[in-house]
Amino acid sequence: MTRVYVPKDSTAVSLGADEVAAAFLAHGCDVVRTGSRGLFWLEPLVEVDTPEGRVGYGPVGAADVGGLIAAGLGRSDAHPLAIGLVEEHPFLKSQQRLTFRRLGIVDPASVNDYVAHGGYAGLRNALSMTGAEIVQSVTDSGLRGRGGAAFPTGIKWKTVLDQPVAQKYVTCNADEGDSGTFADRLIMEGDPFTLIEGMTIAGIAVGATQGYVYCRVEYPESIAALRTAIAAAKAAGYLGDNICESGHRFELDVRVAAGAYVCGEETSMLQSIEGKRGEVRVRPPLPAIEGLFGKPTIVNNVMSLASVPVILEKGAAFYRDFGMGRSRGTIALQLAGNLKRGGLVERAFGVTLREVLYDYGGGSASGRPLKAVQVGGPLGAYLPESQFDTPFDYEAFAAVGALVGHGGIVAFDDTADMAALARYAFEFCAYESCGKCTPCRIGSTRGANVIDNLLAGRDPERQKQLLGELCETLLHGSLCGLGGMTPFPVQSAMKHFPDEFAPRSRH
Amino acid sequence: MTSDETAELQAVEAAIARHGHEPGPLIVVLHAIQDALGYIPESSIPRIAEGLNLARSEVYGVVTFYHYFRTHKPGTRTVQICRAEACQARGCQALERHARETLGIDFHETTADGATSLEMVFCMGNCATGPAVRIDGRLYSHVTPERFDALLAHQEGAQ
């Protein structure tokens, strides 16, 4: 029986992958549902084993299935949809997939498949080390928080390790709310055991016995995939009272978020896991000292935790050898918005924005020139074409007033209205503000008003000055990044596209 | 007691019995109720508070803080449209306008016949193939205004 691999990833399904899988089943094929490789313009991307490796076809519709089988599945050049050996595809071949090395290859529901593809080797190593040695290894790897703040992960873990408290927690921030980001989703849907393994290693390292994944409600497929994987890991002895017969205990649960963007901020997320309003807490105390339910808590992003298994498997030096400057290892870049080839690019730090936009992304989907790119989510700066040569590196991005954030890249062509986008940044902040601090709660609404007044031509010089002052107040006076970073998209849009903020005549 | 009230009571009691013992259970309980009923009736707030040993104001505060929780019965089907930047870069503003005009309602509203609720969401992680729309849990890519009409008509045909 011919075995075909059809993604169950939500983007692939949104493009018809379920119907394609059903058609292969109807033709008597053995269908394995995998995650997506992250080549979204080719989804649904169907793969078949050959002696040389998996060959792919895409984008496949249910109506193509009969023809594909008739042409002889696996004979790579025998069909117009054939893309040849998938791993030789230019979009994939030049990537450096460490965290995502199993993505689109394994069955996300199968522990055995995970182990067969190198899974749990990191945990095996960790079980032979002391907690302090594991933490040292993560520190030495140079891994910095991939959620956006880029704080050294090992330092955070050491703080938790050093607390002489019996109950500690590991929490994973999977409230991936930034527009243009889907790396967390791809891992949770496509290779959830990597995240589970990373969290288990974190728990063993710092002496925490309970973990929570705080996953956004907008990701029902991720929640389901995680729950299936957690049950499978538990049944196989990789979670529970006696992990791999080591005597270590670690339990893991999924907590479902409820549509508040601010809960991606770490203290707000902890409030939400506790069942409260997601209002930001004042720091100190740091969550590493007084976090969930007042206990020492690791709060890490999905990407940070999912990078831990490879570090423990191959060693800190292996990981640290990728990257540039103080940005070590790889980063998951997510190509979104108006690009011809959207998807996931995992590369060592140092790749430039231009390479990512054109070599991988293929330029705009609309065929028009790219005008601005927002990197790092709704709180990230807009970069104009003159900054496209900036390399992905936390410090290099900071130097041009931008941020890497969670690695989301949203491209706009020359039809984008930058003043409307700046106004949207305020509108979004107003909608999502938790209301605890005044600059964010009130400043966001005022900001949208001021842009309206500016575009209406009501004393424009005064509005510009007001907007500048307002941005300064938000920047310095907000409790967390939501208010504190909303000025980034606004000010970058004004700086690089000043003409678009001129008074407009009414249409 | 009407059948709606009976269903409401059962859902609330089942959620509290099943999840009330978990650490910080309120949001877990609220999800279970909304999963069962499609919304969280305001009339259930006193019972949730009592069952979890919380003040009514705390429960009310949490229900109203989160965009996802709703206190009014939704339409037969729920249509979520992504309004975030990546979908804007693919033209979701035109889709938003079209959806509001076609359905004759704004976001967070339900059509008069109770058929359709319209919600806005900010990102479903489907950012490379927007505009993205989810209808009753099923995600769709590349939703132009024409495709939107076709999807709704197809759904009506299926019902």
- pLDDT beyond 70 at A416: yes
Condensed to tens digits (0 to 9), the pLDDT of residues A149-164 reads: 899 999 999 999 999 9
Mark yes or no for CB contact B31/A339 under 8 Å.
Answer: no
CA torsion A31→A32→A33→A38, rounded to 10°? -110
Condensed to tens digits (0 to 9), the pLDDT of residues A476-504 reads: 999 999 999 999 999 999 999 999 999 99
B58 to chain A: nearest residue by CA?
A276
* Cα A175 from Cα B27, distance rounded (Å): 15
Inform me whether the C-beta atom of residue B140 falls under 8 Å from chain A C-beta atoms.
yes
Burial of residue A213, with CB atoms counted within 10 A of its CB: 0-12 exposed, 13-18 middle, 19 or more buried: buried
Q: How confident is the model at residue A439 (pLDDT cuts 50, 70, 90)?
A: very high
Residue count of chain A: 507
Token pair listed for A224: 């389901």
Condensed to tens digits (0 to 9), the pLDDT of residues B62-91 reads: 999 999 999 999 999 999 999 999 999 999
Q: How confident is the model at residue A76 (pLDDT cuts 50, 70, 90)?
A: low
Measured between beta carbons, the chain A residues lying within 8 angstroms of B23 are: 274, 293
* Residue among A278, A378, A412 minimizing CB distance to B89: A412
* Residue among A176, A338, A365 minimizing CB distance to B125: A176
- Widest CA span in chain A: 74
Q: Which of B85, B97, B148 to mutate to test the interface with A (most CBs of A within 10 A)?
A: B85
- pLDDT beyond 60 at B159: no
pLDDT given at position A77: 74
Q: Is A101 helix (H, G, I), strand (E, B) or coil?
A: coil
**Residue A353 CA: distances (Å) to CA of A368, A390, B1:** 18, 6, 63
Is the bond preceding B131 in cis, omega lying within 30 degrees of 0?
yes
Q: Which residues contact B21 (CB under 8 A, 6 or more apart)?
A: none
- pLDDT beyond 90 at B27: yes
- pLDDT beyond 60 at B7: yes
Inform me whether the C-beta atom of residue B66 falls under 8 Å from chain A C-beta atoms.
yes
Mark yes or no for CB contact B62/A276 under 8 Å.
Answer: yes
Q: What is the mean pLDDT of residues A366-375?
A: 97
* Cα A405 from Cα A349, distance rounded (Å): 13
Condensed to tens digits (0 to 9), the pLDDT of residues A1-35 reads: 789 999 999 999 999 999 999 999 999 999 999 99
Token pair listed for B38: 């499609």
Tell me the angle at which helices A220-235 and A183-190 cross, rounded to the nearest 10 degrees.
40
Mark yes or no for CB contact B85/A411 under 8 Å.
Answer: no
* Residue among B84, B140, B141 minimizing CB distance to A179: B84
Condensed to tens digits (0 to 9), the pLDDT of residues A94-138 reads: 999 999 999 999 999 999 999 999 999 999 999 999 999 999 999
Q: How many CB pairs below 8 A link A and B?
A: 151
Q: How confident is the model at residue A506 (pLDDT cuts 50, 70, 90)?
A: low
* Residue among A184, A218, A273 minimizing CB distance to B124: A218
pLDDT given at position B158: 56
Torsion angles phi and psi, residue A350, rounded to 5: 120, -20
Nearest to B84 by CA among A380, A328, A257: A380
Measured between beta carbons, the chain A residues lying within 8 angstroms of B132 are: 14
With contact defined as beta carbons under 8 Å apart, do A208 and A168 qualify? yes
C-alpha dihedral sign at A383, A389, A394, A397: negative
pLDDT given at position B4: 85
Three-state SS letters, A142-199: CCECCCCCCCEHHHHHHHHHCCCCCCCEEEEEECCCCCCCCHHHHHHHHCHHHHHHHH
Inform me whether the C-beta atom of residue A433 falls under 8 Å from chain B C-beta atoms.
no
Condensed to tens digits (0 to 9), the pLDDT of residues A36-74 reads: 999 999 999 999 999 999 999 999 999 999 999 998 888
pTM: 0.96
Inform me whether the C-beta atom of residue B147 falls under 8 Å from chain A C-beta atoms.
no
A176 to chain B: nearest residue by CA?
B125
pLDDT given at position A327: 97
A341 to chain B: nearest residue by CA?
B128
Mark yes or no for CB contact B86/A256 under 8 Å.
Answer: no
Mean pLDDT of chain B, nearest integer:
94
* Cα A360 from Cα A341, distance rounded (Å): 7
**Chain A neighbours among B 75-134 (CB < 8 Å)?**
84-90, 121-130, 132
Using only C-alpha atoms, chain A has a radius of gyration, in whole angstroms, of 23
Torsion angles phi and psi, residue B119, rounded to 5: -125, 150
- pLDDT beyond 70 at A507: no
Mark yes or no for CB contact B23/A293 under 8 Å.
Answer: yes
CA torsion A205→A207→A208→A213, rounded to 10°? 0
Mark yes or no for CB contact B130/A337 under 8 Å.
Answer: yes
Inform me whether the C-beta atom of residue B25 falls under 8 Å from chain A C-beta atoms.
yes
* Residue among A10, A275, A339 minimizing CB distance to B139: A10
Mean pLDDT of chain A, nearest integer:
96
* Cα A430 from Cα A441, distance rounded (Å): 6
CA distance A213 to chain B (A): 13
Measured between beta carbons, the chain B residues lying within 8 angstroms of A182 are: 125-128
Mark yes or no for CB contact A258/B68 under 8 Å.
Answer: yes
Q: Which residues contact B136 (CB under 8 A, 6 or more apart)?
A: B77, B78, B155
Condensed to tens digits (0 to 9), the pLDDT of residues A229-276 reads: 999 999 999 999 999 999 999 999 999 999 999 999 999 999 999 999
Q: Which of B126, B147, B151 to mutate to test the interface with A (most CBs of A within 10 A)?
A: B126
- pLDDT beyond 90 at A422: yes
Tell me the angle at which helices A183-190 and A302-314 cross, rounded to the nearest 10 degrees.
60
Q: Is B110 helix (H, G, I), strand (E, B) or coil?
A: strand
CA distance A102 to chain B (A): 20
Q: Which helix (H) or strand (E) holds B83?
A: none
**Chain B neighbours among A 30-89 (CB < 8 Å)?**
40-41, 43
* Cα B131 from Cα B117, distance rounded (Å): 18
Mark yes or no for CB contact B28/A275 under 8 Å.
Answer: yes
CA distance A280 to chain B (A): 13
Mark yes or no for CB contact A219/B65 under 8 Å.
Answer: no
Annotate A259-321 with DSSP letters as a single string.
Answer: S-GGGGSHHHHHHHHTTS--PPPPSSSPTTTS-GGGS-EEEEEHHHHHHHHHHHHH-HHHHHT
A210 to chain B: nearest residue by CA?
B23
Q: What is the mean pLDDT of residues A275-280?
A: 96
Mark yes or no for CB contact B85/A432 under 8 Å.
Answer: no
* Cα A220 from Cα A14, distance rounded (Å): 13
Token pair listed for B122: 């900010």
* Cα B37 from Cα B41, distance rounded (Å): 9
Q: What is the DSSP letter of A341?
A: S
**Chain B neighbours among A 295-324 (CB < 8 Å)?**
none
- pLDDT beyond 70 at A324: yes
